[in-house]
Amino acid sequence: MLQKCEGIVIRTTDYGETNKIVTLYTREWGKVGIMARGAKKPNSRLSSITQLFTHGYFLVQRGSGLGSLQQGEIITSMRSIGEDIFLTAYASYIVELTDKCTEEKKSNPFHFELLYQTLNYMNEGYEPDILMNIYEMKMLNVMGLYPILNQCSVCGSTDGHFSFSIREGGFICHRCLDKDPYHFKLSPASVKLLRLFYYFDLSRLGTISVKDETKEELKKVITAYYEEYSGLHLKTKKFLNSMDQFRNLL
């Protein structure tokens, strides 16, 4: 049965001399794998539509097993990402995180929109660190993780100076700091941004200007929370960290 979907290429695997197995995250079906026959041939009409990060319409022959890609039409090629090694590193992490955290054939139009907006904003030149942090915070619920960001995770107080406790799984107020001697100290800006990234709608993103020291605080907290609770060890994240060190040398 021939069916059309809107999707984003989140992974490609070579199959034989000329074919590719392409993993799409689609608006209609969630995550699906499809066979793109001949897509590795340079003159193939499926070559460009099956590039990583490509957003397009895909006409798929669907059956009980792996679907077969018949044709495709590019909506957004995400060219700026493909032309920048740093943006490619960020976008690769975003799509690997998506791939590892989502189930096959489980439709979630909201998540599709989130993935598309994140890559599209990145392609348009928005701050990739911030987009990555927003996406990481939004992915927590997908993994069944619910950090406490609206009050102190120990006493429930909503006022005071907040730090972040990995042990308690969320914010911890200044009155309860002795409950976790290993808490992360946070500036008021970081507290506000962690809340914002977790709760707000990405489609309303304006220009967010974040100081370098605030970015560093956000990165430390989100990375530590992921390491403690997600169980993920992504190659793209390691690569991204080594790219960061490389960029600091430039």
Task: Delimit the domains of the chain by residue range.
Answer: 1-129, 130-249
What are 8-26's pLDDT values in tens digits?
Answer: 999 999 999 999 999 999 9
What pTM was estimated for this model as a whole?
0.93
Q: What value does the mean pLDDT take over residues 62-87? A: 92
- Domain 1-129 - what CATH class? mainly beta
Write down the mean pLDDT value for the chain: 94
In this prediction, residue 25 carries a pLDDT of 98
Percent of the chain clearing pLDDT 90 (strictly above):
87
In this prediction, residue 250 carries a pLDDT of 58
Q: What value does the mean pLDDT take over residues 161-179? A: 97
In this prediction, residue 42 carries a pLDDT of 84
Q: What value does the mean pLDDT take over residues 190-197? A: 96
In this prediction, residue 157 carries a pLDDT of 97
The candidate with the shortest Cα–Cα distance to 148, out of 199, 224, 104, 223, is 199
In this prediction, residue 36 carries a pLDDT of 96
Q: What value does the mean pLDDT take over residues 97-115? A: 95
DSSP state of 203: G
Query: Given a cut of 80, is residue 167 above it in pLDDT?
Result: yes
In this prediction, residue 209 carries a pLDDT of 84
Amino acid, res. 48:
S
Query: Given a cut of 70, is residue 130 above it in pLDDT?
Result: yes
Beta strand pairing call for 30-36 and 67-76: parallel
What are 141-162's pLDDT values in tens digits?
Answer: 999 999 999 999 999 999 999 9
- Outline where the chain has alpha helix (H): 79-82, 85-101, 109-123, 128-142, 188-199, 212-229, 235-249
Tokens of 203: 């489609």
